[in-house]
Structure 1
Amino acid sequence: MNPNGIILSIVFFSHTAVGVLGNAFLVCLFFCMFFIGHRLRPTDTILAQLACFNFLFLLSKGIPQTMAALGLKNFLDDNGCITVFYLHKVSRGLSLSITCLLSGFQAITISPSSSKWAEVKARAPKYIVPTSSLCCVTHLLLNIIVFVKVKDPQSSRNSSELHDYGFCSGLESNKVRDALFGVVVSLRDAVFVGLMVFASGYMILLLHRHHKRNQHLYMTSLSPTASPRARATQSILLLVSTFVCFYSLNSILISYMYFREPRLWLIQCSAFLSICFPTFSPFVLISSDSQLLKYYYDLWGKKVPHL
C-alpha cells in the first residue's frame, strides 16, 4: 500500500474523528439542557443546528475521503455514492446558511434598542426555526441535481466524460447546464458570505462603540470583564472569521481546479480544507463561549469555576 496514502488516510481520519466528537458533544449538551428544562439562549438553537450539520458533513465527507486515500475507490455503488455526495452537498450548504443566520441574528441582537431594528430585534427569536427550516428545504431541492451528475467510481473506467473526485465521479453531460448550476451555487455562496462579512463588520463597530462609551468604567474597575452579550458576540465573530478563512482558501482552490483538470493532490487539499471548519468550530465555541462551559457544569451539578 502507498505510504503517502496511509499517512493521508490517518490525517483525514484523525481530523474527522476529532470534529465528530466535538460536534457530538455540543449536540448532546444542547439536547440535555433542553431536555431538563434549562433556559437556553436563542442563539443556542442555531448553534445546535450548526453542530448537527457539521457532524453530518464530516461523516459524509471525511470518512469517504479517508477510505479513498487508502485506495478503496470502489467501496460505493451508484446509490451509495449518490447518497453520500448528496448529504455532503446539502450539509455543506446548510453549514454556510446557518453560520450566516447566526451572524445576522447576533448582529440584530446587539443592535441598539432605540434603533430602527428595535421591532425586528424583538421578533427575531420567533423566526429562527422557520428561517432554518426554509434553508433546509431550499438546499434539499437545490442539490437534487446530484442524482443525475454523480456516478460510482467504477463508471469512470469506461467513460471519458467522468471526472474522478476521490470516492465519486462527476458526470459532465451538459456543460451549459453545469455552468449555470455552478453560477447559481457560486452566487448563493457569495451572498451568504457577503452577509456574514457585513454582519461581522457591523458587530465589530457596535462593540468598538460600546468599548469607547464604557472605557472610563474599565479604567476604574479592578477586574474589568466584558458583558455576557459582548463575550457571546466575540465568540460568534471568531467562529465566523474561522469559517470565512477556510471557505475563502477552499474557494480559491476550487476555482483553480475548475479551469484545469483536477489533480489528485488538489482534490485532497480541497477536501481537507472543506472539513477544517466543521472540525474546529465546536472547539472555537467551547474555548470562547463561557456559557457552554456553564451548561456543562450545570448539567453535572458541579460548581462553575470563575470564567
Structure 2
Amino acid sequence: MDIIEGRSVVKGTLYLLLTVIGIPGNVTIIASFIHVAYYDHKFLAADTIVSNLATVNLLVVLVRCIPETTAAFGLKQLFDDNGCKIVIFIYRTTRSLSIWLTCLLSGFQCISLTPVTSTWSTVKRQVPKYLSPVLVFLWLLNMSLSTPAILFSISSANNRTGNKQAVNLEYCFVRFPSQTIKLANGALQTSRDFIPIVLMIFASAYILLVLYRHRQQVKKTRDSSKNQRSTMETQASKAVVTLVTLYVLFFGIDNILWIYTLTVTRTMQTSLISDLRVFFSSLYATVSPTVIIISNRKIHNKLKCRKIKQEAIYSETIS
C-alpha cells in the first residue's frame, strides 16, 4: 500500500512539474507570435506551423497533465462520461497533431534549405499558399482518427464491469468491447505515428547533410551578409533537428510501451507501463517549447524587448 501511495506522489509531482513548465512555455510562444502578427505584420509560414505546434502542445498539457496530476493526488472522478469522451478525444487529436506538425516543420525546413534553382524557387513561393489547406487537412484527419475515443471512453465512476480490455487512466477509462478491437485501435494509433516519424528521420538526415556542406562552404567564404543569412538558417535547422530528435525519443518510447501494454493482462504491470507511456508522450509538449523559445529569434527578441520595457518602467517608478 505504501509503495502504491509513494508511486502516486512521485507521479503527481512529475505531472505537476510538466504542467508548471509546459503551460507558461507554450503560452509564451503563442503570445509572442500574436504580437508579431498584430504589430510587425511579418507572419511567415514557419511561424504559422510553430504557433500551431505550440497550441496543440498547450492542449496536451491542459487535457492530460492536469487530470493526471489531480488523479495522482486522489481526485479521480473529475469527469462524467461526456467529459471523458471530450478530454480523451482532444488529447488523442492534439497528441497526433503534435507529431504531424513537427513533421511538417521539418519538411518546410528542407524546402527552405534546397538549392536556389528555377524549380525550387517556384516551390518555395507556392508553399505558403498551400499551407493553410494542409493544416486544415491535418486537423480533420487526426480528428477523424481519434473517433474511437468518443465511442469507448467512460467515467471512472461507471467502470464497474472489470473489463480486461479497458485502459485505466484513473480519471477515465477507455473500455473496448473486445481484445480484437483494442488491438486494432492500438495498431491504428501506432501506424498513424509511424508514417511521420519515418518522414521526419529522412528530413532530418537531409538537413544534417546540408548543415555539413554549409560548414565546409563557410570555411571558404568571407562574405559577411551571406554568412549572417546562412547562420540564421543554420540555427533554424538545428532547432528543427532537435525537435525531431526529441519526438523520436519520447514518442518512440511511448509507442514501444503502448505495444507492450496491448499484450499484457496483469493489472499492476499494465498500470505502471501505462503511467510511463503517458509521461513520455506528454514530455514532448513540455520540453519542445523551451527549444523553440531558445532557438526562435522572433520570440527571443520579443521577450528581450519586454524585459527592457519592464526595466524602464521599474526605473521610472523608483525615480
When normalised by structure 1's length, the TM-score is 0.89
User: Match of 2:247?
Assistant: 243
CA RMSD of aligned residues (A): 2.2
Matched, 1:46 2:53: no
Give 3-state SS (helix, strand or coil) of 1:86's partner: helix
Structure 1 residue 12 displacement after superposition: 0.8
Matched, 1:232 2:240: no
CA distance in 2, matches of 1:205, 1:270: 32
- Does the CA-based 8 Å contact 2:186-2:262 persist in structure 1? no
CA distance in 1, matches of 2:27, 2:280: 20
Instruction: Look up the equivalent residue of 2:183 and give its one-letter code.
Output: A
- Does the CA-based 8 Å contact 1:26-1:51 persist in structure 2? yes
Give 3-state SS (helix, strand or coil) of 1:169's partner: strand
Give 3-state SS (helix, strand or coil) of 1:216's partner: coil
User: Match of 2:81?
Assistant: 78
User: Match of 1:124?
Assistant: 127
* Count of residues paired in the alignment: 299
User: Match of 2:261?
Assistant: 257
After superposition, the Cα gap between the structure-2 partners of 1:296 and 1:40, relative to the gap in structure 1 and judged at 3 Å, is farther
User: Match of 1:21?
Assistant: 24
Task: Pick the aligned partner of 1:97 from 93, 100, 107.
Answer: 100
Task: Pick the aligned partner of 2:146 from 117, 122, 143.
Answer: 143
Structure 1 residue 67 displacement after superposition: 1.4
1:29-81 residue CA offsets vs partner (Å, 9 max, x unmatched): 10111111341332111000000000001111101111121132222211111
Structure 1 residue 298 displacement after superposition: 4.9
Matched, 1:134 2:137: yes
Which deviates the most, 91-100 or 3-12? 3-12
Give 3-state SS (helix, strand or coil) of 1:227's partner: helix
Structure 1 residue 3 displacement after superposition: 4.1
CA distance in 2, matches of 1:200, 1:167: 38
Matched, 1:289 2:296: yes
Bigger fraction of residues in helix: 2
Which deviates the most, 276-285 or 167-176? 167-176
User: Match of 2:213?
Assistant: 209
CA distance in 2, matches of 1:163, 1:248: 20
After superposition, the Cα gap between the structure-2 partners of 1:164 and 1:184, relative to the gap in structure 1 and judged at 3 Å, is closer
Which deviates the most, 82-91 or 247-256? 247-256
Matched, 1:166 2:170: yes
- Does the CA-based 8 Å contact 1:65-1:271 persist in structure 2? no
User: Match of 1:193?
Assistant: 197
CA distance in 1, matches of 2:118, 2:190: 33
Which deviates the most, 58-67 or 291-300? 291-300
Instruction: Look up the equivalent residue of 2:175 and give its one-letter code.
Output: L
1:122-168 residue CA offsets vs partner (Å, 9 max, x unmatched): 21121221111110111112211211111111232234343422222
Give 3-state SS (helix, strand or coil) of 1:112's partner: coil
CA distance in 2, matches of 1:254, 1:134: 26
Matched-pair identity in %: 28
1:243-268 residue CA offsets vs partner (Å, 9 max, x unmatched): 11111111111121111135322222
User: Match of 1:305?
Assistant: none
When normalised by structure 2's length, the TM-score is 0.86
Instruction: Look up the equivalent residue of 1:213 and give its one-letter code.
Output: Q
Give 3-state SS (helix, strand or coil) of 2:94's partner: helix
CA distance in 2, matches of 1:36, 1:240: 31
Runs of 5+ consecutive residues of structure 1 not aligned to the other structure: 303-307
Instruction: Look up the equivalent residue of 1:246 and give its one-letter code.
Output: F
